A and B are shown apart, each in its own frame.
Chain A
Amino acid sequence: MPLEPALLTQDLAHDEQQDYLWTLNFGPQHPATHTTLRLVLKLQGERVVDAMPDIGYLHSGFEKLGEHLDYNQYVTVTDRMNYISPLANNVAWHLAVERLLGIEVPPRCQYLRVILCELARISDHLLCTGAMGLDTGAFTFFLYAFNRREDLYDIFETLCGARFTNSYTRVGGLMYDATPLFIEKVRQFVRTFPRTLDDMQRLLDRNRIFLDRTRGVGVLSREDALAWSCTGPVARASGVTRDLRKDEPYLCYRDFDFRICCAREGDCLARYLVRMSEMRESLKIVSQAIENLPAGPVNVGQECRAVLPEKPWVYSTIEGCIAHFELAMSNRGFETPCEESYAAIESPNGELGFYLVGDGSDVAWRARCRPPSFVHFAVFPLLIRGHTLSDVVAVLGSLNIIAAELDR
C-alpha cells in the first residue's frame, strides 16, 4: 500500500540514530533485477530509507571499442547495448554517423527504419510491461507479452536472418532490402496485435492487486523529471510532453499521424499506462508506413562513397571493382570530416543519442553513447525512498533498466 506523504518526506537517511536500520544487498544476481545490477538498501523494518545503486558489473568498454572499430563494424556492438530493442540502437548509431557525414538516406530506407524502430519499441514495451507484471505477480500477463515478442523475433529473422542481434543498418542504408514476406508478416502482426493488447489491458488495467502495488508508488514530479534529465516514457508519465519524433522529426516521422502519450501522475502505474498506449500509437505508425512503403533503392548512391556498390556493377566494370576495393580494404574506407556532431532518436527507453567525433578516417575518434537507462537509474533512490521493500521491484520494472546499456 502507498504510504502517506509525511513518511516520504522524513529524512531518515541522515538521521543520527541509525542503529535500528539494517542493510540489504539486492543483487547483482537476483531474479527480480532481471539483469546484473546491485542495490544496497537501507531498511527500517520493511521500509526503504535509502537506496544506493552500485553499477558497473557489465561494463565492457563499448565506448573504447568504438574508437577502434569502423562505423559499419561498430553496429554489432550497439546491438548489445539495449538488447531488448537492438534495431532502435542500430538506427540511432547510423543516424549519428550519417549526420556526421551529411548523408540523407533514400525514402524507402527511411520508411523501413521507421517500421523497425516502432517494432522495436513494441518489443521493448512488451518486455518492460510484461516483466513489471511478472514482478508484481501477474504471470499470465507476462506470457501474453512474451508470446507476441516471439512473433516480432520471427519478423526480424525474416528481415535480416538474426533474431536477437540484428545489426541491420549500414552507413547510408541497410544490409539488404525488405522482402515481400517481411511485409506480409508485418501486415499480419498489425492485424492481430490490437487484440493481444486488448487482452493484456483487460488482464491488468483494473486488477486490484496490480493497481495497489503501482498507484502512488515511486512518484516522479515533473520538476524532478526535468532536473534529473529524464526522457522518454519515464518523463512523459510525469507530464513532460517531449518526444523527439514530434519535436525534432528525424527520418520521416513527419509523414505519419500519431499522438504522444503522456500522463500527469508520474507513478509506476502512469509509466505502465504510457507504455501500453504508446504501443498502440507505434502500431498506427507501422501500419501507415507499411502501406505507404515507397519504391526505390534502400542505399544512397555511389556519389557519397560510403556504401558498398551493387554486386553486378562490381563484377562487370572496373569502376565498380575499384569502388568496392576502396571501401572494403582495411587501410582505405571512406572519409569523414574532422568535426563533431550529435544525433538522437526517441528510443523505447528515452533519448538515445550518439556524440561522434570524426578524425578523417572511417573510425570514430570518440563514440559517446547517451544511454537512457543510465540516466534513469540515477533517479531510482529518489523514487524508492519511503516505500516498502516489495515496491523496489515495481519501481525497477517501471523504469526498464537494461544493465547492458547502463554499463556499456
Chain B
Amino acid sequence: MYPPKLEKIIQLFESLPEIERRETLVSYADNAKKQEPRAGEKFVLEDVRKDEECADTVGVYLQVDDEGKAHFRMTLGPEVQTLTRAMTAILCKGLDGRTPEEVLELPSDFVTRIVGAELVRVRSQTIYYVLTRIKGICKVYLDRQRMAEVA
C-alpha cells in the first residue's frame, strides 16, 4: 500500500515505545538539514514560501528523473518546529523514487502511525504540513505536464 521505503519507516516507528519514538523523531529532525538542495542540483519546480500553517519559511524542491521518478529536497527556516523537521527528513527519504502520481494518491493516514497518538492529540495542526506541501508541488508538476500535453 505504501512505498517500500516509507513502509519500512512506518513499521520502525510502530515498533517503538513512546519514549524511543520521540527520540527517533528528534534523530530524524537532526538530519533534516541533509535534505537541503546540494550545489549544482537542478529542479523542475521550486516552491519556497511561508504559510499560515507553519512558523517559518519552508522550501520544497522537486526533481523528476528520466524514468519519471520524483526526488525531493527541502529547506527549513530556523523557527520551523521539531516535528515538522522530523517529517521533512522522513518524507524526503520515504517518498524518494516514487512517481508524482503515486505521491499524490498516497493516503495521509500513515502520518499518525509515525507520530503516534499522543503527539497527534496535542499538536494535530502541524503533523500533515510537510506531506501537504510535497503533494502540492507534485500536483503543480502534473497539472503543468497535462497542460503541456494539451498544448
Do they bind each other? no
